[in-house]
Structure 1
C-alpha cells in the first residue's frame, strides 16, 4: 500500500481536497444530515470547567472516501455526567493532511448532546482513498490531542500490502495496558478490537486499578462511567489516536455469557433487555462508529463489511446479539436449528463470501471457530464448547462448506475471547483430522485479562486438537501483514502487564500462503525442544473432591539427569500450573505431582491449588514445559 504521507500534496490537489470535504455530507450526533452542523447560539453559554478531552480521540470504520472521527467531552470522566452541563455544547472539528494541522481540508461544528453523554461521531465524507489524515477537536479555548487516521484504498484498486493488528480482552484491574504502548509504535494501517473492551464486574484487582463503580454495572450511568474509566488509560488513548479502528463486542460489554435476550442469571427478559439497551448505548457513545449505527433500544446493528482494494475484505461479525443460548453437551450442540449468528447475519455473511473478489477474506469475530472440544480418548465424551462455535456446529459446518467450495477465497478467521494465543488449521470436517484444510484461524491472547500468563508455549498439534499449530499463554496482541501472495502473523507478547513498564517481543511468527490455507511456522522458535527425554507416564483426575487423587507422574527416559528447576507441570492444559523449584530428575527416575497438600518427598510433590481442577465429566490434558515454557510432553486423562 502506498504511503501518501511520504508525498506532500501539491497546491491543486490540496484545493481539491478542501472543496471535496467541506461540501461533503457530515453526519454526527447533533450535526446536520445535509451539511455541517452549526450549534444554536444559545447553546454556547460560557466555557467548560476543566479539560473536556480527558478521554482522548479516536477514528474508525475507514472507507475509501470517509472515516468516522470520535471524541467525548468529559472534564470529570468518572462522575455521573462526566462533569458536563445538561445542555448541548458545540464542538469544532477539523481534518488536515499534516500533523501540524496547517493543510486543513475540512472543518465543521457538531453538537455534543447530553442524551449521548456529550459524545460526537463525525462521518467525514469526500476524502481521498488510501490517504493519511490528521484531525483535532476544539471546544472554546480547549483543543484535543491530534489524531492520525487513514482512508481505505479504492474499491478494486491494486494494493500491495496491508498492515494491521488485532486485540481483545482488556480487563482494567488485571493489568496495565503496556501492550497498547508498543502497539501505538507499530507501522499499521488499521487496528481491530474483537471484544471485551470493558468488563462489567466489580473486580478491584491488586494494582490500584480497581473498577469504578466498584460493583457490577447495570444502569446507563454505570456503563458510561465504566467505559470512560477504560478510556482514561493513556496507552489505550495513544493506540486509538494512532490508527483507525474496527471494533466489535463480545459478552462483557453487557454481561458475562449473555445470549441474545437471555442473561447468565436468567433475569426477566424485559429487565435484561433494558440493561442491554443501556450497555449498547454506552458502547456506541464511546466508540468510533457511524451515526447510522446508533442503537435503537436494545438493538444495535454492529456486523458490517470493509474492503481494502482488491487485497482484503473484512467481515466484522457479532456472535453475541443474535445467538441461541449456550448449551453444554455435544448432543445439544449438534441441533441443526441452533445459531450463533442469526439467520439474517449468516445470510449476509455467506452472500458476501460468495460474491467477494478480494484476495483475502477475513472473519473478524469473537470466539474460537476451530473445534476445541475433541479428546484423543475415544471412551471419553468431552464437551468444552459452551459459548464457542463448538456449541453451534450447524452454523460452523455451513461456513466450512463455503470455504471448501472456493479455492480462491483464502479465508482467515481472527478471534479473541480465550486469553491465549492459538493458531489453527480449519478442517473441512473436524471429526476427521485428515480432511482438507479449508481455512486458517489466528487467535489473539488477552491484552491484560487474567494478568501475567504462565508463558507455556506449544508448537504443533495437541492431543485433543491435531489441527492446532500453536498455543501460548502470555499477554499482548497480534500483528498481521498481508500481501497478494502471503499472510504473515506475528504474536507480539509483553514481558508483564503487572507493572507499568514492559518489553515486547515476537514469540512466534506464522505464514499462510495464498491458495494454500493453513498456518506455517515461520520464526526460529524451536519446534522440537532439546529435552525430549521427558514423558508423562501416568495421570489421574480429581475424584470425589479428594485433591490427592489427582496427580501426574513424569519420568526421565534419557541417560542423563535433567535439571527441572523452573519447569512447569500444568493441570488442565495451562489453567493451573505447578512450577518446580530447585529439582533434578535423575535418569530413569520418576516424580509425581499431586494436586493436594502433603509432605514433599524425593518422588512426590504437592501443588495444593486449594480446589478441584477438573471434574470427571470434562477430561482434559496435562502438560510438562521446560524453563522456557516450551511444552515437552502431553498426556490426556483416562476415563474414571
Structure 2
C-alpha cells in the first residue's frame, strides 16, 4: 500500500499541494515513519555555495538511494534527483552533491530508499525540510547603488557541544542551543559552524568502530543537532575531544611514541561523519591506513598492498608509524613498536614505496597512517573565512619556555597557506575559525589546575608563532575576527586595533569558571601571557560554583551588513551598498535565544586615521 501511495505522490502534482510546506501528509500515508524507511542518520546539509549543496546520510545497511529536490512541493518523479550508494567500508555513511542550482533560491528535498520516502520533519507540525543557496554577485546587483553586487552575510557559530549525561548532570542530552538557532535564526543564518568538540569520548574503545559508535550516539541522541543541520548547512572544525584526549606533537617529525598517534584514527571518523560538510582545496586529501615494513637505517617505507602513485604529496601532513588501531594499544607504554612515531614524507618512490624522514631505527613490520590537511577556506561576498587545524599538525609543547621558536601550533605548510591567504585576499572582512584560543587560555582550574598557567591547548603555549601571526594580522588593515573554542565560555576581546578574539559558547558543555580562563576581568585591561589586551565582555561564571553546576549555554550569530534594502519609487526594491560595511556579532542565550551581548565593528575601525 505504501508503494502504491508513493507512486501516486510522485506522479501527481496539484497547485494546492505545491504550496503546502507540510507535504507529505503522514495521515494520508504518503511517507513511511523515519525509523522504518532504511535511514539511520541524516540527512544533513553542508558545504553550501550559490549553485550547490552537499547532502549526507547514513543507512542501516548498504543500499542505493536518491535525493529528490525542487523549488516547489510536492516533489514528483519529474523532480531533479541525484543517486548515491552507501557502503559498509565507510560505515554506510555518504554525502552526495546537488549541483547546478540557482543562486539565492529555496529548494525542498527528500530522500528515496527502495522506492519509499521517510518523513524528514523533526515534528509533524514542522515544515518540510528545505535549504537556500547562497546569493552571488548577480543576486542584489544595482548598477547605480550596488554595482559590485555585494550582499549581506549571516552565519551562526558555537563550540563545545557535549551531550554526555555524566558531564551535563543528566539534565539533558539534546543541546538546547541547536534548537534555539533553529527556532530563531534558521532562516537568517546562511550556514552554521561548530568550531570543535562536536562530540566527546563516549563509547570509544580505541577502534574505528568505537569512534563510529560515538558519532552515531551523538547524532541519534542529539535530536537538536540533527534537526538544525537538516535545514541549515553545516561546517565543522575538530578539536581534542573530536579526536580523543589532548594530543600534542602530531606534526613534529621525529617525535616518538605517544598518544598523539591516535590522530588519524579519530580523523577517519571525522571524515565519515563531519568533514564531508567542509569546503575542500588543493591541500585536502583523505586519511590512509596500512601495514608496512621498514629496515634499520633505511628511509624507505614498503607496503606491498598500497598504490602510492595515487597519493598527492601536497595533501600529506605527517605519517604516523605504530598508530593506535586497536583498543589494547590505548594505554601502552611498553611493548610499543620500536619505530613508533611521527615521520615526514620526502617523496613517492613508486606504487609500494615511500621515502620518509627520519630513517627507521630497526627492522620492523608495523601499522602506519598517512595524515592529511584538514584546514580550508572559503569566500562569501566580501568575507574571507579561514578554518584552521590547531590540533592535527602541531608540535609538542614546552611549558618551561612558551617562547621557544621551534614550537608551533600550525605546521609550516598550514602557516604558509594561512599567511599567503590573509595577505592576498581582496575581502573586506577576515574571519579566522580557530578551534583553540589565541589570548583567552585554558588553565584546567575547574579540575585542579593552576588558574594562571595555560595547560597547553591554544596559542598562549606557542607564543613565538602567536606573536608573529598577530603582527601579520594587525598589518593587513582590515577587521580580523578570530572565532575560537575549546574553553567553555563566551568572550569578546580586542587584541589589537584590527584583531579581535570572539569566543561563542559553550553550545552544550558545562561552563568553565573564570579561573579556567586565566581569571580575566569581566571587562577591562588584561595581560595574556605578556600581551596587553582589552576584554570587552566575557561570561563571568564564578569560581565558587561547583563546575557541574554551571549550566549556561551560548551561541553566536554574525551579521555582515553590506547593503541596505530600500523601497524603489518605481516599485520593488533597490540595494544601496554601504561605504564602510559593518559586522555585528551577537551572543545569544542557548536556552532562550535571548540576546546577551553584541559588538559592532566596521571597516573604518581598521583604517589608519
Same fold at TM > 0.5: yes
Post-superposition CA distance 1:276-325 (Å, at most 9, x none): 3332122222124369754334524321111112x211111111110112
Counterpart mapping for 1:428-467 below 5 A: 437-450=497-510, 459-461=522-524, 463-464=526-527, 466-467=533-534
The question of 1:247 aligning with 2:236 is answered yes
Correspondence for 2:96 = 122
Q: Secondary structure at the match of 1:223?
A: helix
- Cα 1:63/1:220, change in 2 over 3 Å: same
How far residue 144 of structure 1 moved from its aligned partner, in angstroms, is 5.4
Q: Which of 381, 387, 394 is 1:316 aligned to?
A: 387
User: CA offsets per residue over residues 151-180 of structure 1, 9 Å max, x none?
Assistant: 334379633311111011111122441111
Q: 1:112 to 1:258 in 2, by over 3 A?
A: same
1:97 Cα deviation from its structure 2 partner = 2.1
Q: How far off is 1:225 after superposition?
A: 0.8
Partner of 2:309: none
CA distance in 2, matches of 1:481, 1:471: 20
Once superposed, what is the RMSD of the aligned Cα atoms?
Answer: 3.3
Q: Which of 65, 87, 97 does residue 91 from structure 1 map onto?
A: 65
CA contact (8 A) 2:402 2:462 kept: yes
- Cα distance 1:393–1:50, how it changes in 2: closer, same or farther (>3 A)? same
Paired residue secondary structure (2:288): coil
CA deviations over 1:538-572 (Å, ceiling 9, x no partner) = xxxxxxxxxxxxxxxxxxxxxxxxxxxxxxxxxxx
Assess if the C-alpha contact under 8 Å between 1:440 and 1:517 holds in 2: no
Measure, in 1, the Cα distance between the counterparts of 2:218 and 2:51. Answer: 30
1:452–1:413: structure 2 CA closer, same or farther, 3 Å change rule? Answer: closer
TM-score by length of 2: 0.63
- Which residue matches 1:469? 536
8 Å contact from structure 2 (residues 488, 511) kept in 1: no
CA contact under 8 A between 1:164 and 1:189: conserved in structure 2?
A: yes
> How much does 1:344 deviate?
0.7
Aligned to 1:289: 277
- The answer (yes or no) to whether the contact 1:138–1:144 under 8 Å persists in 2 is no
Q: How far off is 1:508 after superposition?
A: 1.2
Q: Kindly state the Cα deviation for residue 467 of structure 1 after the two structures are TM-superposed.
A: 1.5
Helix, strand or coil at the partner of 1:333: coil
Deviations 1:344-390 (A, max 9, x none): 1111111111111111111011111126599xxxxx99542612111
* Native 8 Å contact 2:194 2:235 kept in 1: yes
**TM-score w.r.t. length of structure 1:** 0.60
The answer for the alignment partner of 1:479 in structure 2 is 557
Deviation for aligned residue 1:150? 3.3
Does the 8 A contact of 1:420 with 1:471 survive in 2? yes
Contact 2:65 2:84 in 1 (8 A): yes
Aligned partners of 2:488 and 2:512 also within 8 Å? no
Secondary structure at the counterpart of residue 97 of structure 2: strand
Structure 1 gap ranges (5+): 1-47, 75-83, 201-210, 375-379, 428-436, 495-501, 519-640
Structure 2 SS opposite 1:55: strand
Check conservation: 1:419, 1:449, Cα contact below 8 A.
yes
* Number of matched pairs: 417
Structure 2 matches for 1:508-547, cutoff 5 A? 508-517=597-606
Q: Deviations over 1:235-275 (max 9, x none)?
A: 11111112111111011111221125389xx9935x863x4
Q: Check whether the contact 1:130–1:153 (CA below 8 A) recurs between aligned residues.
A: yes
1:148 aligns with 2:130: yes
Give the distance between the partners of 1:110 and 1:381, measured in 2 at CA. 51
Deviations 1:417-452 (A, max 9, x none): 10011111113xxxxxxxxx2211210121111269
Contact 1:475 1:493 in 2 (8 A): yes
Kept in 1, the 8 Å contact 2:52–2:100? The answer is yes
Rounded to whole Å, the distance in 1 between the matches of 2:260 and 2:512 is: 33
- The DSSP-based 3-state class of the residue aligned with 1:120 is strand
Q: Distance in 2 between matches of 1:371 and 1:102?
A: 52
1:586 aligned residue = none
Q: Within 1, Cα distance between the matches of 2:475 and 2:84?
A: 48
**Residue 399 of structure 1: aligned partner:** 469
- Alignment CA distance shift 1:49-1:511 (3 Å): closer
Tell me the equivalent position of 1:60: 46
For 2:18, the equivalent position in structure 1 comes to: none
Equivalent positions of 1:588-603 (< 5 A) are none
Question: How far apart, in 1, do the equivalents of 2:209 and 2:223 lie?
Answer: 23
Structure 2 equivalent of residue 109 of structure 1: 83
- Are residues 1:384 and 2:454 paired? yes
Q: Does 1:192 align with 2:183?
A: no
- CA 1:480–1:128 in 2, change beyond 3 Å: closer, same or farther? same
Structure 2 Cα separation of the partners of residues 360 and 372 of structure 1 = 25
Cα gap change, 1:373 to 1:199, in 2 (>3 Å): closer
| Matching residue of 2:377 | 305
CA distance in 1, matches of 2:603, 2:35: 55
Give the C-alpha shift of residue 328 in structure 1: 2.0
| DSSP 3-state at the match of 1:282 | helix
Match of 1:227 in 2: 215
Q: Residues 169 and 381 (structure 1 numbering): CA distance in 2 closer, same or farther, change over 3 Å? A: closer
Unaligned runs of 5+ in 2: 1-33, 121-127, 139-147, 290-368, 444-449, 542-551, 563-580
* Aligned twin of 2:142: none
Equivalent in the alignment of 2:294: none
Q: Deviations over 1:61-99 (max 9, x none)?
A: 22333221111113xxxxxxxxx3xxx411111222246
Q: In 2, Cα distance between the equivalents of 1:105 and 1:348?
A: 41
- Whether the aligned pair in 2 keeps the contact of 1:57 and 1:147 (CA below 8 Å) is no
Higher helix share: 2
Q: Residue 53 of structure 1: CA displacement? A: 2.5
